[in-house]
Chains A and B, each alone.
Chain A
Amino acid sequence: MANLYTFPNMTAGPDNVLIGLSAEIPLIMPIFLLSMYMIIFIGGNISQARLRGYADPSLWSLTGLMTVFLMALLMSLTAGIINPIVLSVIVSLLIINGLWFFLSRGRFEQ
């Protein structure tokens, strides 16, 4: 049966599966991290708006980026899973999001 890409070696451990996938499809991990961020960001905003009547996008964006950042750190332990530039971009976005988050806070509310 023809496959869209060459299967990684499944018997060499989970790390090798991820490395094989990344080698075959370089965008797979960035897309995975982006989907994680979008799930948290959109899901959090919609849930909060439904429950409280308002949403706090800077908070949910920061939550999503923190999650993605920690996952990217774990992926950086083994060479070949994500590109170092991806980690740098995530940290940069996290810092910019931090500015947005802190400037949107009230003194004591929320």
Chain B
Amino acid sequence: MGNIKYVGALLMTALFAVSIIVFSIGFGQENTAAFNLGDSEGFNDTRDSIQNNLVQYRTDVINSSNSFYESEISEGETVRTGGQFKVGPFTAYSAAKSTISQSFTTIFGKGAEFAYLLTALLGFLSFVLILYIWKTWAGRNPD
């Protein structure tokens, strides 16, 4: 199991967990259920904790992305700055981000309940993008 698969599995688990909890609470509130998962403090805390972690994950990916963009390889048989590997994918990522954001907003609206899903997914796309550029540039295997 490589870096991308492992991080992807954990991230998808977090998204899955918080989606189930939010859906369950929303279902109970909208249908005036006799009880719902929101009555339990534990699940509310878990939801808040996961959402904070997902936002922090995106921040970490942005910081790593910036530092990676500025990085150089000083030794070995490769291009030192790797600029030609970085420019294309970063531009393509911006286009994909705009497309996904529009589709996501159309489906889920601009409410805050599901906004963290888009945040986390875009963060994961950036993470995979960086690792694949690094794979092309430095010849390592993050799969």
Contacts and interface: CB of A to CB of B under 8 A. Distances in A.
B7 to A, nearest CB: 11
Interface of B is mostly: helix
> Interface range on chain A: under 10, 10 to 19, 20 to 34, or 35 or more?
20 to 34
Q: Is the interface of A mostly helix, strand, loop or mixed?
A: helix
B34 A79 contact: yes
B5 interface: yes
B39 A84 contact: yes
B27 to A, nearest CB: 5
Contacts of A84: 35, 39-40
B9 A105 contact: yes
A94 interface: yes
B34 A99 contact: no
B13 A91 contact: no
Interface of B: 1, 4-6, 8-10, 12-13, 16-17, 20-21, 24, 27-28, 31-37, 39-40, 43, 143
21 contacts: A73-B28, A76-B28, A76-B33, A76-B35, A76-B36, A77-B33, A77-B34, A79-B35, A84-B35, A84-B39, A87-B37, A91-B20, A95-B16, A95-B17, A98-B16, A99-B13, A102-B13, A105-B5, A105-B9, A107-B4, A107-B5
Given A77-B34, A80-B34, A84-B35, 7 more contacts: A76-B33, A76-B35, A77-B31, A99-B13, A102-B8, A102-B10, A107-B4
